[in-house]
Structure 1
Amino acid sequence: MTRVRGSGEPVRRMWAVNRPLVFTGALMVLVLAAALVGLAVDRQSITGQPAWAKPARFALSICLYSLTLMWLLTFVRGRERLVRTVSRVTAVGLSVEMALIVGVAAAGTTSHFNFTTATTTGVWITMAVFIVAAWVMNLATVVLLLSQRVEPPAFAWGLRLGTGVACLGMAVAFLMTLPTHLQREAAAEGHGMPIIGAHTVGLADGGPGLPVTDWSTVGGDLRIPHFVGLHALQVLPLIGLLLAWRPRRATPGHRAALMWIAALSYLGLVLILTWQARRAQPVTAPDALTGVALLAVAATAVTAALLVLRHARLADG
């Protein structure tokens, strides 16, 4: 049984079992620093944004993901070989992806969906293979956490459900690899498909976007549910940790129920954002249907949480 107490042992386990992820996280800090320098000195633009913006974003994201996964794996007992496999495959997969993103940015072209030349095709296919391997390792982490007895239950479910929703959020990226309507039309007209897939729905990548994230403000953008879903890896375990101590009168069962409500609501948000993006709708301009869906998820979550809290008060007498 694993309990949420004592920081010394998890830190020692992180270093003993997860050295590949420690190295990957540290390497991404260096890549982020180099990318920030590139943003300052290189005025080159790729698909309408600074050439080093994507490497900077990916370095930050991979660093956070590596360190979070490393922490999650400290709760796994009795599966040392599998833990090492997850750590190593993830570290290699993410490091290769980062190296290719940096290399392509330095060459002044785009890394994702690019079938323009044999070289860019090879880069994109290699990236896809390694990122799928990392996704499979995330799925394996879900299975590993489900097999562990972690106390308290609310925190345990925060770990499991957070990893599960993150796995779904990562899977949203597969939708980006499908040819868009515009690309299929161009291919039908005999122009071929030098680019297959896109972040944006309803128009080509590279249009107006939000600062820093570059999420489209004129079309749907699948990066949004991908981002929100992926960060369930941090958000839901944190909620589970908070529920482990609050509310005071709630039993472990009530707290676990509240954790499930939070996780299902978060999942609902990811699904709504995916649905919104697939309808080519900018996140900055939700229509009435999107608004109603968001309100329905929020109202259901609040109602369910209040019912659980009421039951907890009645049970407490």
Structure 2
Amino acid sequence: MFTITGKSRDEPARSHPLRWHRPLLVMVGLMALLMIGSAVGMVADDRVLLGAPVWGKPFKFAVSFVVYGLSLAWMLALPLKAPRWAWWMGTLIAVTGILDVGIVAVQAARGTFSHFNQSDDPFNTVIQLVFGYGVQGLLLANLVLAGILIFQRIVDRPTAWAIRSGMALVIAGIGLGLLIPVRPQPELTVEDANGQWISLAAQHSVGVQDGGPGLPLTGWSTAGGDLRISHFIGLHGLQVMLVVALLLRYLAARVTRLQHERTQAALVIVAAVGYTALLALVTWQALRGQPLFRPDGLTLGALALVVAATAAAGWAVLARSPRPRRRVSRGAEPVRTPAAP
């Protein structure tokens, strides 16, 4: 699958499933159970928060943490430098992930808001305090882990660049999530599923109030901008980059220009830059109060520029890719040119 620096290129990286980071696997298992329970809840429980099912948010968080947890558990099973630091940071992510998503589930069961909830309820006050520290723990652990993974090459070049760029995108996604509460906005008073009016310190929509029409499942606003989109795209940039690296390795067996490892690595870098530009574009679009699927001419022009520049860069990489040498069959006679008279 992937190779380790200093080993033969055909030797797979030693990331056996039994060696995957166990605390993260425990987190993944709990998230999978929550995902199933939330799916049942969306069918059996008709309560809503701002027009969305109360169990919709726990379901989305559970799915997200399953995907991210599996990615990290695999990476931490590779032969890393500073393995103890990496193990502890993975454990911190697992613990804070369980804590934070658990709070989301508890608040959903209570029929109230998990994020930005300013209720005077003593239980909610404690919940919000723990939730805030949990988010800080997630950010700190991801920053340290990104530092460990970015500055070493533990696999082949394409996958190494996928990990580096992917972890950088994760940090960017977390940072964009923090943009939601710090952005200047008026305090809102909304009704929870129990009919109680709750003050919210922030909202993710731009140009419209939270609770309007949204996309199926994600709930992203279709009436205004929504900062959750860029938060989501950044957080899952790691998985996108790993898929790009895997796809290039698969295509390399069929496309001769992709057989060189440096070419694959360069294409991963091109994809990462293009993905980063897309992340910046959707953030800019949301901050202008524009729905994702209702872009104006300016947004479409910027998107066309990003696509064209990424395609041109990819084409340039392929054009400069060294062609593999042709092998002469053993039984073939070498072609001899006549000697000059």
Task: Work out whether the TM-score is over 0.5.
Answer: yes
Does the 8 Å contact 1:201/1:219 carry over to 2?
yes
Percent identity (aligned): 34
1:78 aligns with 2:81: yes
More helix per residue: 1
1:248 aligns with 2:256: yes
Cα drift, residue 266 of structure 1: 0.3
Counterpart-to-counterpart distance in 2, 1:78 and 1:255: 24
Q: Deviations over 1:189-238 (max 9, x none)?
A: xxxx9311111112221111011000000010011111111111111012
Cα–Cα, structure 1 residues 32 and 218, in superposed 2: closer, same or farther, change >3 Å?
Answer: same
Cα–Cα, structure 1 residues 149 and 181, in superposed 2: closer, same or farther, change >3 Å?
Answer: closer
1:197 aligns with 2:202: yes
Q: Deviations over 1:118-150 (max 9, x none)?
A: 433432332122122112222222211123223
Q: 1:190 maps to which residue? A: none
Which has the larger Rg?
Answer: 2
Does the 8 Å contact 2:205/2:221 carry over to 1?
yes
Gap runs ≥5 in structure 1: 185-192
1:39 aligns with 2:57: no
Gap runs ≥5 in structure 2: 189-197, 327-341
Counterpart-to-counterpart distance in 2, 1:142 and 1:307: 30
What TM-score does the superposition give when structure 1 sets the normalisation length? 0.89
Q: Deviations over 1:262-282 (max 9, x none)?
A: 000001111111111111111
Cα drift, residue 288 of structure 1: 1.2
Alignment of 1:114-133 (within 5 A): 114-117=117-120, 118-133=122-137
What TM-score does the superposition give when structure 2 sets the normalisation length? 0.83
Does the 8 Å contact 1:47/1:110 carry over to 2?
no
Counterpart-to-counterpart distance in 2, 1:63 and 1:180: 33
Equivalent residue letter for 2:133: V
Q: Deviations over 1:239-288 (max 9, x none)?
A: 12333452433533222221111000001111111111111111121111
Counterpart-to-counterpart distance in 1, 2:283 and 2:152: 31
Cα drift, residue 115 of structure 1: 0.9
Number of paired residues? Answer: 306
Alignment of 1:12-91 (within 5 A): 12-14=18-20, 18-91=21-94
Q: 1:147 maps to which residue? A: 151
Counterpart-to-counterpart distance in 1, 2:150 and 2:14: 24
Cα drift, residue 8 of structure 1: 6.5
Cα drift, residue 313 of structure 1: 5.1
Cα drift, residue 4 of structure 1: 8.0
